[in-house]
Structure 1
Amino acid sequence: MSLFSSIKSIFASADSGPKEPEALPSEEYQGFTITPAPIREDGGYRVNGLITKGEQSHRYIRADMLSSSDSCAEEMIRKAKQMIDQQGDNVFS
């Protein structure tokens, strides 16, 4: 392996950090839109998404890690619904 290839591989691995989460299909709930976007990390997917209503939005991210993107999205929606039930429009405060 040449010196140039070694240096290039070092920088290439540094660029392969966490990728931008991919938004999955949204779900409407009591006037809110819940959009899961699991974050791929070592060992699984982190619960992440967006709760919106009109012009307001709240980034929803938790420490929970799950093994699949689909199960992570389901968990985000479940937790977001619970938060909406408990806080209503105060989600945006």
Structure 2
Amino acid sequence: MGILSGLKSLFAGGESTPEASEEVVEYKGFNITPAPMKDGGQYRVAATITKGEGEEQQTHKFIRSDLMPNRDECIEITMRKTKLTIDQLGDRIFG
């Protein structure tokens, strides 16, 4: 898959589809749910980051262009990148 077709599938909904979500991980008051997306025989780094409960809950869909050859590696990279993003942005991730 070329770079342009990969970007096109990211924005057009292409062939990437989230897989069944993993266990929720709490990190600094945020909840991270890895959701690797199968994409052309590989897995795209993706997760849902939430904070709060009920009507106060905020949600951010975390999707990156990184592709990993296997699901476990993708989840590991996803957790590393989501934690780094939370460290850098904090609550600004939702705005």
Q: Which TM-score applies when normalising by structure 1?
A: 0.77
Larger radius of gyration: 1
Superposed, 1:27-42 pairs within 5 Å as 27-42=25-40
Are 1:51 and 2:53 an aligned pair? no
Q: Distance in 1 between matches of 2:64 and 2:18?
A: 16
In structure 1, distance between residues paired with 2:94 and 2:68: 26
The alignment partner of 1:64 has SS state of: strand
Counterpart of 1:66 in structure 2: which amino acid? Answer: M
> How far did 1:19 drift?
4.1
**In angstroms, what is the RMSD of aligned CA positions?**
1.2
**Identical residues among aligned pairs (%):** 44
Number of residues of Structure 1 aligned to a counterpart in Structure 2: 77
Change (3 A) 1:66 1:30: same
Distance 1:88 1:18 in 2: 27
Mapped partners of 1:36, 1:73: distance in 2: 6
5+ residue gaps, structure 1, are 1-16
- Aligned ranges for residues 1-93 of structure 1 at < 5 Å? 18-54=16-52, 55-93=57-95
Q: CA deviation at 1:44?
A: 0.6
Gap runs ≥5 in structure 2? 1-14
Query: Partner letter of residue 68 of structure 2?
Result: L
Instruction: Work out the CA distance in 2 between the residues paired with 1:35 and 1:47.
Output: 12
| 1:58 Cα deviation after fit | 0.1
Query: Tell me, what secondary structure is at the counterpart of 1:34?
Result: strand
Quote how far apart the aligned CAs of 1:70 are: 1.1
Cα distance in 2 for residues equivalent to 1:81 and 1:19: 23
